[in-house]
Amino acid sequence: MASQTSDTVLPNTPTLEDMQRWTWVIGRAQQLMMEHGVELAMKAGDGPAPTPMPALMGTSAIAQAATNFWSDSMKLWQRFLTPGEAAAPEEPKSKDRRFAAPEWREHPLFDLIRQSYQLIAQHMLKSVDLVEGVDEAEKERIRFATRTVVDAMSPSNFAFTNPEVMKKTLETGGENLLKGLEHMLRDMRQGQLTHVREGAFELGRNLATTPGKVVKRAPLYELIQYSPTTDEVFETPLVIFPPWINRFYILDLTPEKSFIRWAVDQGLTVFMVSWKSADASMKDVVWDDYVAAQIDAIDTIRELLDVPSAHAIGYCVAGTTLAATLAVLAGRGEAEKVKSATFFTAQVDFESAGELKNFVDDEQLKLLESLAPEGFFDGRYMAATFNMLRGRDLIWNYVVGNYLLGQDYPAFDLLHWNGDTTNLPAKWHRSYLADLYRDNKLAVPKAMTVLGVPLDLRHVTTPAYVQAGREDHIAPPESVWKITDHFDGPLRFVLAGSGHIAGVVNPPSAGKYQYWTNEKPADSLAEFTEGATEHKGSWWPDWIGWIERQSSEKVPATGARVPGEGKLPAIEDAPGSYVRAR
């Protein structure tokens, strides 16, 4: 088996034709690089310095780790040099897709490369736990930086240590590397890693297609009202606040995946806030402005439909803002304006906020200021940050596929949305990271004041539905759970399978994943999980059942329930203009 693999991977003596072919490949590659270099030189300007990586400290523990590493390295080399005398321990079946090709185990050279890398990676990560003299927060930053380096140095990321790339290169005569180089240079020009084939998706054509109208345009947001599909609708409408760090249509992807379309089909009058992508005119926008915008949207809907209240959903950071909005309304004696509040993977207590806390020290915040000279923060930097949290899947997987193997880009709606970045007001973004992620002020009663109201989450009695993702790396379930420690009203907590996106965007028709509920009181996520009941499929039906229990009255789907036929005339068709602004 090994010899057959060797024949397919390692080249024979090149013929004159082969040499001519490779001369052309190298020449073409040099031409592409030269053209790109000239282009960069013409656009040269000041750029941000790279973030410094934390350094490991020299300690006795690190010295012991080095000794252990060299001991394990000698054992590894002994197994390869004298295979008959030192049998390798049986390896468990790996789920690491980087080393899925059979050559990584069947070809002696690549097997050695793989095992050497895994040995180094294992010891690098273990050594972080042995570092002395730093607090846990600093150690976590070191751990994150080490893991980032470990992922970057994987042999699967380099052409001459990846058997799949070598095989592809020999089969295509280097065409894959040239195609990959073109991909890489294009990504460098646009300053962002490409995940999806250009032109595969278009808003209003095959994304964000749920029928509706923009019925209000404010400086910070557009309000979209969707057309009813049922003869009767629930009297209490629903307004959805998406995260302003992303485009709203994550909840309106293809018709089969659209939460908005599904909610409309359940008989809800659905409104969506579409946030404006920041520009220089928004340099003074702060926390208060987003809370005020949420209250303004709620009041607009109440007046339009002549109803006392609305259901509200806040997704991710917009859920954090929704919690602040509820606290402001409670402080004003206006809590009844929100009938119920639903939180998709949202946090209010950032003590256990996960790996994003690695980006909120003083040095990182100072760097952010340098990246926003015009008062707004380029969304491509935020996209890169989130990609780093799953670098193996969202960065290096595409480096190999797009750049080394020269593969065509897929047509994947979720990845298109992920790359459709939104700019952020710099002042607001910095204060969000500092006040919440770093200082955790929202969790402290009256530590923050918004719109003149000292925030106290203990005064929030609005019925709440809290959804967390079991595998969420952006809003860890342990962090989302902490909402239950602060709100004082009736609350239903649901733990969904998968993560920050797939755990939310999981239509019942897909029959995927699962969710857990627990009807008994629990003091911790661990206690909730221990006594939870697992349900197959989507949690969406559980949510609509909960909504109906809050307010079951229905009215005809006529008049102002139809976009543009009430006090607010239709401005344009959904998905509107703000979602298209770059």
| Beta strands 270-275 and 238-241, pairing class | parallel
- Cα–Cα distance measured from residue 514 to residue 446, given in angstroms and rounded to the nearest whole number: 38
- Cα–Cα distance measured from residue 396 to residue 437, given in angstroms and rounded to the nearest whole number: 27
Phi, psi for 314 (deg, rounded to 5): -125, 125
- H/E/C letters for each residue in 461-507? CCCEEEEEECCCCCCCHHHHHHHHHCCCCCEEEEEECCCCCCCCCCC
Cα four-point dihedral sign 331, 335, 337, 343: positive
Distances (CA, A) of 570 to 224, 238, 296, 475: 9, 18, 18, 36
Per DSSP, which regions of 218-260 are E strands?
Answer: 221-226, 232-234, 238-241
Cβ-based neighbour number of residue 146 at 10 Å: 20
Helix segments in 191-238, DSSP class H: none
* Residue 316 falls in the annotated catalytic set: yes
| DSSP conformation class of 337 | G
List the structure tokens of 262.
């599904």
- H/E/C letters for each residue in 493-547? EEEECCCCCCCCCCCHHHCCCEEEECCCCCCCHHHHHHCCEEEECCCHHHHHHHH
Per DSSP, which regions of 80-131 are E strands?
Answer: none
Distances (CA, A) of 113 to 71, 89, 102, 120, 169: 17, 17, 14, 11, 19
List the structure tokens of 339.
């009938």
- Cα–Cα distance measured from residue 447 to residue 455, given in angstroms and rounded to the nearest whole number: 7
Cβ-based neighbour number of residue 135 at 10 Å: 7
Catalytic member of 301, 304, 316, 322: 316
Cα angle, residue 76 at apex, residues 73 and 78 outer, rounded to 5°: 110
Place of tokens 């002549």: 306
CB neighbours of 209 closer than 8 A, spacing ≥ 6? Answer: 252, 254, 255, 258
Active site residues: 316
